[in-house]
Structure 1
Amino acid sequence: MIDAAFATLPLKTAGDSLPAGAGKPMPARPENPDMREGVNIWFAEDNGEFAFPRLAVDATGEHWDNRLVCANVSLNDGRVFDGWGMFPRVPTEDVDGNPTIVGCSVLQFRCIEPLKKWHVTYADEPLAGTIDEQIAKQMDPAKRAAIRLDAEITVTSVPWAQYFAPGDTSFAARAMGVGWRYEVPVAINGTFEVDGKPRPFKGTGVLIHRHSIRDFAGFWGHDWQAAAFPDGSAFGCNVYPEKAGQPDYNTGYIYKDGKCYNARVVEAPWLTELKPHGSDVSLVLESELGRTRIEGTTMLCTFKPQWDLMGGLSLEQSAVQYRWGDQTAIGIIERSCPV
């Protein structure tokens, strides 16, 4: 839903257009205490050795000086690292005095060029354990490990954008947030360090940036998936399970042969069990192209079982090996249900 009073960027997007100025970090604390700025990236190393199935920093007007960090790391040897917590903010201004940084003491995203290029650094000692321990809620709070990341992020496709103008009271605005949000396929390359051993890497993933006010009250579950493929094709979707008395929320896109198509999910892989890897997360999207089936299998997973912050829902945030026709790619999934 677009407010005609806003000019739009000269940028091709899937979904809604973005208001002028979108994509830039907030220069200062917003007046509205509920307004949130968030930047996060989900990516996997090209050879499937490790993944960050969500590395995020969020700040609201009310808690501007302390930022929420959500850092998930999964290794192909079965280890996982959980770095969720609150950390003090760092200055928004870069060395040239420009407001380009969204971050805190352990995690900083620096916007090099809005909607095109970012730089990310992360350095912390998150909880360390195994995926089996995480699923069983048995990770030792005293066991930690040093994780470092320093990388450049480059946009590789068109953004999938949502924009809801102030005053919009629709369910979709409540679900996605009043304001703007975009997600976009990216390439990432840099250095990752674990066990005191830095290693260069290349990977692919999805970056999300948002300025919005979002109401999570009454949330009952979802399925969000995205990936980009070697030939430039991409998809993204977000759907809530049907629930009596609740509005339908089902949105998505397909980018194929240089054209964007709005899409809906007609078959979704709802979360029904917590598996360390190997879950079938294939989906079917419906658009002007007809029905498009994309096969998927989870590979580097993280979980928040029966999580209090989501009203007892279980949350999965994982990397996925997708196949679309003869194309393969590593993408992402986030899904939640009362499991």
Structure 2
Amino acid sequence: MTIQDLSSGLAIEKESVVSEQPTEPFWAENLLFTLYDPEADLGFWLHLGTVPNEWDMWEDRVLVCLPGDEGVLTMWGYYRTPQKEKPAGPNLAFRCIEPFKRWRVTFDGFAQNVSNADMQNGLVPDGLRKRLVIDLEVECATPVWDAHTAAHGKGGNGEMTSQGWAKEHYEQLHRARGHVRVDETTYEINATGWRDHSRGPRGGGTGEPWGGHVIAGCIFESGKGFVFSTYWRPDGRITLEGAAVIDPSGTLHPAQILEPPRLEDLQMSGERLPIRLRWDGGVIDTVMETRRSIWTSMQKLLAVGKDLDGPGLMYVLNFGPCQWDGEVGQVYIERSDPLNAPPKRIWSE
């Protein structure tokens, strides 16, 4: 069964970027595509966003896990993008082909190659760059999951509009196919992942203080999947939480997070993270085993490498498999926590 309307009731205009400069201070718009191909062993975090208080300036932020022990590619750049080319930066571009259904993702430039050893030794200095070309056709595979709706639904907590990083946010699981070239090596990509789109003030003390977070998503070959997120203050109180399970027919079901898999230390691979969700079809109780990792510092605007200065607020991306009823899917998960002073627990009122 294919569900034709994947918007979950969102207006079609939500898929476009804002065309007139907002008046609200620190307002920003951000779009993200994540994906992992287990055969090519390539993982991607591809982010486009406006710079707060510089609305016409767009930022590329690209992170790629290379196969095996080849390390990570990292790149960011800034560009005053003409309106007709948005959303795009100097190298990265997202094109909506059909709202809530199909996108094209392209990148044409260079990115710094960081070894896994250097990433573990500290913040990474400038270094060797590799040619990087990305050309992907993205097919959205599930209905939109809206953070505001989820927070107010069964199993949800907190409030999207109280956040300090956006006031609107939705996500969607997808499949991506295409090609990626790294220097002279070309990879054929057949990947899964999720995308998101956020709008609203980012930074400037406009919302709840950041204490940490978890976001995860996975789509299986059968069409079933899950997505969830939790955000909390430095004292551990949850400010936003929600989850959904997608059944094989493609229907979205509200869910409750039973155990958020928090960031407790830094591991390159082999970390076993609990995925435990309760929904109207029962309980998902499984484990993701991390296969690839990217470590970045939230204190240094996601600069790659280990940074345990001060609170040690790290932002870590992981890719790896999990099983649900014997079927294997690839999970993308991102987590943050102040590793030097983490809340002992997270809790909701």
Tell me if structure 1 keeps the 8 A contact 2:170–2:197. yes
Q: Which range moved further: 37-46 or 195-204?
A: 195-204
- Residue number among 280, 283, 287 corresponding to 1:291 in the alignment: 283
Return the alpha-carbon distance in structure 2 between the equivalents of residues 198 and 303 of structure 1.
25
Which residue is 2:67 aligned to?
A: 76
Task: Name whichever of 148-157 and 257-266 sits farther off.
Answer: 257-266
2:12/2:99 contact within 8 Å kept = no
Is 1:227–1:329's contact at 8 Å kept on the other side of the alignment?
yes
Change (3 A) 1:90 1:196: farther
Would the aligned equivalents of 2:160 and 2:167 in 1 still touch at CA under 8 Å?
Answer: no
Distance in 2 between residues matched to 1:279 and 1:330, nearest whole Å: 14
Q: Separation in 2 of the partners of 1:216 and 1:146?
A: 39
Aligned pair count reads 316
18, 31, 34: which is aligned to 1:26? 18
Tell me by how many angstroms 1:74 deviates. Answer: 0.5
Which residue of 2 is the match for residue 118 of structure 1?
103
Q: Which residue of 2 aligns with 1:56?
A: 47
CA distance in 2, matches of 1:245, 1:271: 13
Shift of residue 171, structure 1, vs aligned partner: 4.2
Q: In the aligned structure 2, how far is the partner of 1:181 from the partner of 1:26?
A: 14
1:181 equivalent among 169, 176, 182:
169
Of residues 11, 30, 39, the one that matches 1:38 is 30
Amino acid in structure 2 at the alignment position of 1:220: G
Aligned letter for 2:14?
A
**1:65 match:** 56
- Which of 215, 225, 237 is the matching residue for 1:224? 215
When residues 178 and 18 of structure 1 are mapped into structure 2, their CA distance, relative to the original with a 3 A threshold, is farther
Distance 1:102 1:23 in 2: 11
- Name the residue aligned to 1:323: 323
**1:294–1:241 distance in 2 versus 1, CA, 3 Å:** farther
Aligned match of 2:347: none
What is the correspondence of 1:61-210 to structure 2 with a 5 Å cutoff? 62-93=53-84, 101-137=86-122, 139-163=124-148, 171-175=159-163, 179-210=167-198
CA distance 1:245–1:230, change in 2 (3 Å): closer
- Judged with a 3 Å threshold, the aligned counterparts in structure 2 of structure 1 residues 74 and 173 are, in CA distance, closer, same or farther, namely same
Deviation at 1:55?
0.6
What is residue 334 of structure 2 aligned with on the other side? 334
CA distance in 1, matches of 2:112, 2:324: 35
CA distance in 2, matches of 1:142, 1:12: 43
What secondary structure does 1:21 align onto?
helix
Report the 3-state secondary structure (helix = DSSP H, G, I; strand = E; otherwise coil) of the residue aligned with 1:93: helix
RMSD between aligned residues: 2.6
The code of the aligned residue for 1:224 comes to I
The one of 237, 262, 265 equivalent to 2:257 is: 265
Q: Distance in 1 between matches of 2:286 and 2:7?
A: 22
Q: Any idea what the Cα deviations from partners look like across 1:34-90, whole Å, max 9, x if unmatched?
A: 3322111100124142111x1101014621232222211102222333434341133
Q: What secondary structure, in the 3-state scheme, does the structure 1 residue paired with 2:192 have? A: strand
CA contact (8 A) 1:228 1:235 kept: yes
Residue 216 of structure 2 contacts residue 333 of structure 2 at CA under 8 Å; is this kept in 1?
Answer: yes
Superposed counterparts of 1:251-262, under 5 Å: 251-258=242-249, 259-262=251-254
Partners of 1:203 and 1:177 in 2: how far apart?
Answer: 28
Separation (CA, whole Å) in 1 of partners of 2:16 and 2:81:
17
Tell me the distance in 2 between the aligned counterparts of 1:323 and 1:295. 7
Aligned residues with identical type, % of pairs:
19
CA distance in 1, matches of 2:42, 2:318: 11
SS at match of 2:95: strand
Question: Cα distance, 1:241 vs. partner?
Answer: 5.6
User: Aligned in 2, Cα 1:23/1:294: closer, same or farther, shift over 3 Å?
Assistant: farther
Unaligned runs of 5+ in 2: 150-157, 303-310, 340-349
User: In structure 1, how many angstroms separate the alpha carbons of the residues matched to 2:108 and 2:71?
Assistant: 16
Query: Following the alignment from structure 2 to structure 1, what is the Cα–Cα distance between the partners of residues 31 and 19?
Result: 14
TM-score of the two chains, using structure 1 as the length reference: 0.83
Aligned partner of residue 84 in structure 2, secondary structure: coil
